């Protein structure tokens, strides 16, 4: 049986976790959940439901999003990304950020249907923004794309290219197929897929998806951290410290990662801006400060342990 971590190593991990929780400015909530809604405003969204001709697909989608998004937790970051639309000049009709019900409802009401269905392109735009936000939150919180669409993508190849990578980067994708004759091409690929063949089903689908909790943050109270890490072996405990001091990689979708992280799913895309989504100087300074504090803590604890052994050795020799 392997030996468990020495008290010194456990104490170092505990100190590191506590310091990590306080080096972030109080104004920043790193545990915030983030939702980007990708709304299809193509021309076919003007069609009426086959089973309920009283409403168009777009009107029902707007009603469903208003009804659900304005009632979710106020601490949630929400973004509304619209593709196509005859009157949409800026695709971020509501940029990812804190929820403001009045502004959000106005943004939801604004798109008018018109155009094609470039879903793959907009999956990438939404995912890149979530990755940028995840970098700011030190990989805490949850990140999801909610896609509301009524037809096949016109950029089929991009959907196939980007979707696996988005999911590989642990961004949840939920898709609602609105009044579609057949299931969407993503139905068996994404985290969840729901059909909405009438307005009521659409409201229920949005509500059910956003009711699911997907938080990935570490929210354990300080008094429980020591109990959680105490069973670890010393080798595993030290590897955890090593992993926690690494700057997380949240490269934009399609961007070539460092060579040691390259996988078949991370296909390079030479058109992506190489400077996109780089950590800010403030974030780098915070990480550097955490590493310095960790090194100082290790040095102090090592010195104490050595001194204690020297004292014990002198006592035994007398």
Domain count, the chain: 2
What CATH number does the domain containing 175 carry? Answer: 3.40.50.410
Q: Per-residue pLDDT tens for 35-77?
A: 999 999 999 999 999 999 999 999 999 999 999 999 999 999 9
- What pTM does this model have? 0.68
How many of the other CB atoms lie within 10 Å of CB of 184? 23
> Would 2 be classed as within a structural domain?
no
Residues 188 and 77 in one domain: yes
Report the SS3 class of residue 288.
helix
> Would 217 be classed as within a structural domain?
no
Residues 136 and 265 in one domain: no
> Would 13 be classed as within a structural domain?
yes
**Which pLDDT band holds residue 30 (cuts at 50, 70, 90)?**
confident
How many of the other CB atoms lie within 10 Å of CB of 131? 23
Q: Per-residue pLDDT tens for 154-196?
A: 999 999 999 999 999 999 999 999 999 999 999 999 999 999 9
Residues 122 and 79 in one domain: yes
Residues 61 and 153 in one domain: yes
Highest average pLDDT, of 5-9, 132-136, 219-223, comes from 132-136
Q: Per-residue pLDDT tens for 227-272?
A: 555 565 666 666 665 555 444 468 899 886 554 444 444 443 433 3
Question: Is the distance from CB of 55 to CB of 196 less than 8 angstroms?
Answer: no
Question: Is the distance from CB of 44 to CB of 148 less than 8 angstroms?
Answer: no
Residue 156 CA to residue 123 CA, distance in Å, equals: 12
Length of the chain in terms of residues written = 318
Q: What is the pLDDT of residue 254?
A: 86
> Would 45 be classed as within a structural domain?
yes
Q: Where a domain ends, among 179, 211, 243?
A: 211
Residue span of the structural domain in which 196 resides: 33-211
> Would 229 be classed as within a structural domain?
no
Counting other chains too, the contacts that 229-233 makes at CB distance below 8 Å and 24 or more residues apart are 229/5, 229/10, 229/13, 229/14, 230/4, 230/5, 230/10, 231/4, 232/4, 232/5, 232/10, 233/2, 233/3, 233/4, 233/5
Residue 200 CA to residue 198 CA, distance in Å, equals: 6
Residues 97 and 166 in one domain: yes
Alpha carbon separation from 64 to 83, 123, 178, 209 (Å, rounded)? 18, 21, 12, 12
Residues 160 and 37 in one domain: yes
> Would 222 be classed as within a structural domain?
no
Residues 197 and 258 in one domain: no
Q: Per-residue pLDDT tens for 12-26?
A: 666 665 565 555 444
């Amino acid at each position: 049986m392997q030996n468990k971590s020495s008290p010194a190593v456990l104490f170092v991990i505990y100190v590191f976790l506590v310091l990590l929780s306080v080096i972030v400015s109080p104004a920043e909530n790193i545990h915030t959940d983030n939702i980007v809604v990708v709304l299809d405003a193509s021309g076919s969204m003007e069609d009426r439901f086959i089973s309920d001709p009283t409403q168009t697909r777009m009107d029902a989608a707007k009603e469903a999003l208003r009804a659900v998004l304005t009632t979710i937790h106020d601490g949630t970051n929400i973004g509304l990304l619209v593709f196509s639309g005859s009157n949409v000049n800026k695709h971020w009709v509501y940029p990812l950020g804190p929820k403001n019900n009045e502004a959000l409802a106005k943004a939801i009401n604004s798109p008018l249907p018109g155009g094609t269905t470039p879903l793959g392109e907009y999956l990438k735009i939404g995912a890149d923004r979530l990755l940028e936000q995840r970098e700011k939150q030190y990989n805490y919180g949850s990140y999801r794309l909610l896609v509301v669409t009524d037809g096949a993508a016109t950029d089929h190849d991009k959907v196939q290219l980007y979707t696996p990578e988005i999911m590989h980067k642990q961004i949840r994708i939920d898709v609602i197929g609105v009044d579609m004759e057949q299931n969407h091409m993503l139905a068996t690929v994404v985290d969840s897929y729901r059909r909405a063949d009438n307005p009521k089903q659409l409201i229920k689908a949005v509500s059910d998806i956003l009711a699911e909790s997907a938080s990935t943050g570490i929210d354990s109270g300080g008094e429980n951290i020591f109990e959680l890490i105490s069973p670890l072996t010393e080798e595993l405990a030290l590897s955890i410290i090593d992993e926690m001091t690494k700057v997380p990689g949240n490269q934009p979708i399609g961007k070539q990662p460092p060579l040691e992280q390259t996988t078949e799913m991370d296909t390079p895309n030479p058109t992506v801006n190489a400077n996109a989504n780089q950590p800010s100087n403030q974030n780098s300074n915070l990480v550097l400060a955490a590493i310095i504090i960790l090194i100082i803590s290790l040095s102090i604890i090592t010195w104490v342990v050595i001194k204690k052994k020297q004292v014990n050795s002198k006592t035994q020799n007398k």
